[in-house]
Amino acid sequence: MAKQTSSCQYLPTDQQKLGIPLIYGENVSHVFEAKEQVTAVDHVAFGIAERNITAIIGESGSGKSTLLKLIYGLLEPSSGEIRYRGWLVPTRKDKLIPGHDAMKLVSQGFDDLNLYAKVWDNIASQLPNTNLERKASRTQETLQKLKIDHLAQQRVADLSGGEKQRVAIARALINEPEVLLMDEPFNQVDAAFRDALQQDIRHIVDETGLTILLVSHDPTEVLALADELIVMKGAKIIEQGPPQQLYYEPAHSYTAQLLAKSNILSVDQASSLGINVSSPIAIHQEDIAFEEHPQGTFSVTDIRFRGFYKELVLADGQLSLHAIQHPSKNLRIGDKVNISIRRHIVFD
């Protein structure tokens, strides 16, 4: 049976669909009627499982934020339908206060926070004054859950990006939504603090059964966090699956480039490496083995320092490939190498 959190979640004319995922979209489009019509989401279908962390990934402008707003009910689909627990998601025309009652959206850039108020007040203000004792204890609990209780009396404006993001999440979670939606949540969080924040988010999901749907244009940052990825390109969903599956067996070259910065080769280029195929292939950077050799067929044309590894550009005159070099090796620009391909991915 559907959980009835509030009556205005349901449209009187709607009938619940059973046997579908927690959040479910069918044939969903959204056209912005600006000076020119923009189709931001184009006939997409998706299913989002309960208690999972799902990430919508794709390049900038691919329609990720629009899809998130459609799911929350801030925008109305131009075609198709979106259902939550089998019920149509109400939109602005059905509901005075926009946004689904069972969900909370953490928008981009801390828009919802009052920067000049204290952390405590930003969070506590989400609760009614009907029970002050409960208000204080819930606020304290939520601060602890996000590990920001020591910041309670500070102004939000004085916090780091990572701390602000924790406040924004605490504020969204204090009323115990069933679904947390986040648009580019790690954008303004320093890489060094991302892992800890992601671990805490994972912890909250495991502990409370929360469902999370987030958006990211940098999928490498969500590979470790997400249970499921939805890949968007040009307003379409091109594939959906667990991160490891999409990383090792992507169905589209776009996904291989997005997740692995993979080398994409045409049929002819593949054949020049002795790989005979009838459609383009991808070779992940870590699947190119190379060895220095005075008569090597490839030479090192560029070296990009990436911290704990170096990205080498290896070229043989017609083909240029990106490969990963362990820091213990020390090739220089101009060195000759022979290469071998450990693994390649074929696209139909």
Q: What is the 3-state secondary structure (H, E, C) of 286-330?
A: HHEEEEECCCCCEEEEEEEECCCCEEEEEECCCCEEEEEECCCCC
166 binds, among Mg ion, ligand ADP, none (CB under 5 to 8 A by kind): none
347 binds, among ligand ADP, Mg ion, none (CB under 5 to 8 A by kind): none
65 binds Mg ion (CB under 5 A): yes
- How big is the site for ligand ADP, counted in residues (CB under 6 A)? 12
Which residue type does 6 have?
S
Among 20, 32, 162, 188, binds ligand ADP (CB under 6 A): 32
Q: Near ligand ADP by CB under 6 A, which window of 54-62, 244-252, 272-280, 317-325?
A: 54-62
Q: Which is nearer to ligand ADP, 258 or 283 (CB)?
A: 258
Shortest distance, position 63 Cβ to Mg ion, whole Å: 8
Q: Near Mg ion by CB under 5 A, which window of 59-67, 83-91, 167-175, 263-271?
A: 59-67
**Max CA distance (Å), the chain:** 80
Instruction: Name, in order, each residue with C-beta under 8 angstroms of 58's C-beta and a sequence gap of 6 or more.
Output: 64, 217, 231, 232, 233, 258
34 binds, among ligand ADP, Mg ion, none (CB under 5 to 8 A by kind): ligand ADP
The H or E element that residue 25 is part of is: strand 23-33
Q: Near ligand ADP by CB under 6 A, which window of 19-27, 55-63, 290-298, 329-337?
A: 55-63
Q: Name the one residue in this structure whose structure tokens are 């409370």.
A: 208
CA distances from 103 to 33, 43, 191, 225 (A): 27, 23, 27, 20
263 binds, among ligand ADP, Mg ion, none (CB under 5 to 8 A by kind): none
Specify whether the CB–CB gap between 168 and 113 falls below 8 A: yes
Q: Which residue is nearest to Mg ion (CB)?
A: 65
Pairing of strands 179-183, 211-216: parallel
Task: Summarize as ranges the residues that interact with Mg ion (CB under 5 A).
Answer: 65
Task: Summarize as ranges the residues that interact with ligand ADP (CB under 6 A).
Answer: 32, 34, 38, 40, 58, 60-66
